[in-house]
Amino acid sequence: MARVLTGIQSTGIPHLGNILGAIKPAINLANEGANEAFLFIADFHSLTTIKDAEERKNNVRAVAAAWLAFGLDTDKNTFYRQSDIIEVAELTWYLNCFTPFPMLANAHSFKDKSDRLSDVNAGLFTYPVLMASDILLYDAEIVPVGKDQLQHLEMTRDIARSVNHTYGETLVVPESKVQESTMYIPGIDGQKMSKSYGNFIDIFLSDKKLRKNVMKIVTDSKGLEEPKDPDTCNIFNIYKTMANSDQIRSMREKYQAGGYGYGHAKQELYELIVDQFGEEREAYNSLMDNPSKIEEELEKGAEKAKFVAKGVVERVREMLGY
């Protein structure tokens, strides 16, 4: 049984794209796979960009509630909050001293972020070392990541090898597993749905607000009576990522026949979301109303994670002469 580990960003409430593209497939794998999954909410990482304490707490809760609402099995897996395992900060310091400065200076994600953001802090620069620590602290063997994170994984492997080279086998060198997102969910403006574009659908909103959110999908100005091309329409393109083949065929025919307006299509999409995610929306909102239940789950995960982390840090300390 291999130990699979991955970090979940906590920079916002998970949207429809995150849910269909990342959360649901990851939960299926974690619940059904033979492997043991370590999944954590990367709330230390979020400090590089989010400075507001309430915002951070709320994001962590929202992310945890979403994963729990979608049925992550927290008995089989270890689901925890990064900041609950303070050993990660200690290990980060050690790893910093094995990380060549130019390696960080050449990181694509740092270059990209330092061009875009006004707050270019040292945390942003050393982010890959904290990420290496996240992974090495748990002797992770397999790390599923998106393509954009591959360079960080390479750095993790380099750092681990550098420690092992000096002290003998101390750290497990992890393998990355590239996750080609099989899903591409367009946003309400037709670009990729993303927090950063503000074009997402938040399925956890109340019915009324969710409907309003769906009604904001951008369309052309064809009148009700005109036949329409489903394939160039944002509503249809979102609808077809969730609907079954009969539903897709039926909506396609209505578009082509005319007498079917964008308002009708939006209403159908809204109803599909409510229908499909009824249970999860209810579970999410009940958890958000009851944060102590979320805490309980995260504490259970922290206990399991801490047990592993302590052992690894002990091993590293000894090697380093502390």
Summarize as ranges the residues that interact with ligand ADP (CB under 6 A). Answer: 9, 17-18, 21-22, 146, 181, 183-185, 192-196
Residue 21 to residue 55: CA distance in whole angstroms: 24
Quote the DSSP letter at residue 2. Answer: P
| Closer CB to ligand TRP, 65 or 143, in the complex | 143
Q: What are phi and psi of 281, to 5 degrees?
A: -65, -40
| Residues 26-45: x where in contact with ligand TRP by CB under 6 A, - otherwise, as a string | ----------------x--x
- Strand 3-9 versus strand 36-42 pairing type: parallel
Sign of CA dihedral 205, 210, 212, 217: positive
The option from ligand TRP, ligand ADP, none interacting with 185 (CB < 5 to 8 A, set by class) reads: ligand ADP
The option from ligand ADP, ligand TRP, none interacting with 145 (CB < 5 to 8 A, set by class) reads: ligand TRP
Residue 144 to residue 180: CA distance in whole angstroms: 10
Residue 222 to residue 217: CA distance in whole angstroms: 14
Q: Which of 37, 65, 95, 145 binds ligand TRP (CB under 6 A)?
A: 145
Residue 135 within binding range of ligand TRP, rule CB under 6 A: yes
| Closer CB to ligand TRP, 132 or 201, in the complex | 132
| Closer CB to ligand ADP, 86 or 178, in the complex | 178
The option from ligand ADP, ligand TRP, none interacting with 86 (CB < 5 to 8 A, set by class) reads: none
Residue 47 to residue 41: CA distance in whole angstroms: 12
User: Under DSSP, is residue 218 helix (H, G, I), strand (E, B) or coil?
Assistant: coil
Residue 305 near residue 313, CB atoms below 8 Å: no
Residue 7 within binding range of ligand TRP, rule CB under 6 A: yes
Residue 11 within binding range of ligand TRP, rule CB under 6 A: no
User: In 3D, which of 72, 78, 70, 75 has the Cα closest to residue 6?
Assistant: 78
> Contact residues for ligand TRP (CB under 6 A)?
5-7, 9, 42, 45, 131, 134-135, 143, 145, 149
